Amino acid sequence: MKASLLPSQIRQKNSYLCVGLDPDLDKLPDGISKSAQGVLEFCLQIIEKTLPFTVSYKLNTAFFESLGAEGWKVMEILFSHLESRNVFAIADAKRADIGNTSRQYARAFFENMGADAITLSPYMGFDSIEPFLDYPDKTAILLALTSNPGHADFEMQPLANGRKLYEEVLVRSQSWERKGSLMFVVGATRATELESVRALCPDSFLLVPGVGAQGGDLKEISEKGMNGSVGLLVNASRSILYASSGSNYAMAASKAAFDMQQEMERYLRKL
């Protein structure tokens, strides 16, 4: 699904939830095989039971890549399935390199996998991002202000021009010709900076991980991060995937997603 369709999908479902698919073999529920086939079964069940309440899914590629060739095949199947279900499918791969290499990454995830978007590290500059922007119907999601404790090591460092490094990423990328194909990652635990982020990229969608297990506050994120088109995809992974470790895992995930959707609907009414 194209990113341009997200606002209408959000209004249709009264949800800006993105479910993160991080299938850890050690956390798979009872009765699910700890194998690539088990991961596929688990993810398909999660998707089917949470689909009414979400507009997007984010596949953390590390959890699939660690399974070897079979894991890549599982990703292909899941992206194809998500395309058939008309939701925004993100490859959380955190790629980007010199132009020739980035071009191959873009081909791998946009052409072969069929992802709608990919997360990218922007710190090698525009030429490392440009190949992903050559796909007009796809989205490049730049890491801006992440939720991990080490974010302060680089992202928060002040520059000579008075901006912090994450702010420079936002400002520079807003000057790019194809900025309409960009989104930005802003961690839910960085809610205090959301107002400054929104001021620097008022029209962009923000992918906000860290709600749920990482402690991000949905109310604060929604109040500070929404724009006229909503402009938010709030990701929850572990709190939904592992809502139960028993055979009722899919229904428990459905209930967790429904609860988040209900809260989101309240905030959407205020727009």
In the structure encoding, which two tokens stand for residue 89, read together? 């499918």
Q: Are 234 and 259 in contact (CB under 8 A)?
A: no
Has this prediction a pTM greater than 0.85? Answer: yes
State how many domains the chain has. Answer: 1
Q: How many residues would you count in the chain?
A: 271
Helical segments of 98-147, H only? 99-106, 126-133
- Mean pLDDT over residues 191-213, rounded? 89
Give every CB contact of residue 143 below 8 A, 6+ residues apart in sequence. 94, 119, 120, 121, 122, 169, 184, 185
Which CATH number characterizes residue 246's domain?
A: 3.20.20.70
Q: Which of 97-101, 183-187, 213-217 has the lowest mean pLDDT?
A: 213-217
Beta bridge partner(s), residue 235: 18
Q: In the structure, what pLDDT confidence band is assigned to residue 215 with cuts at 50, 70 and 90?
A: low
Amino acid symbol at 97: D
Q: Please state, as a whole number, how many other Cβ atoms lie within 10 Å of the Cβ of residue 178.
A: 15
Helix (H, G, I), strand (E, B) or coil at 15: coil
Please write down the HEC assignment for all residues of 161-175. CCCEHHHHHHHHHHC
Is the pLDDT at 212 greater than 80? The verdict is: no
Cα–Cα distance for residue pair 190/151, rounded to 1 Å: 10
Show the domain range for 85: 3-268
Closest among 149, 154, 109 to 132, alpha carbons compared: 109
Q: What is the pLDDT of residue 216?
A: 77
Catalytic residues: 94
Question: Residue 21: phi, psi to the nearest 5?
Answer: -100, 95
Largest CA distance in the chain: 56
CA-angle at 115, arms to 149 and 28, nearest 5°: 60
In the structure encoding, which two tokens stand for residue 130, read together? 């440009």
Amino acid symbol at 2: K
Q: Angle, nearest 10°, between helix axes 36-50 and 249-268?
A: 40
Query: Which tens digits make up the pLDDT trace of 117-139?
Result: 999 999 999 999 999 999 999 99
- Mean pLDDT over residues 72-90, rounded? 97
Residue of higher predicted confidence among 193 and 77: 77
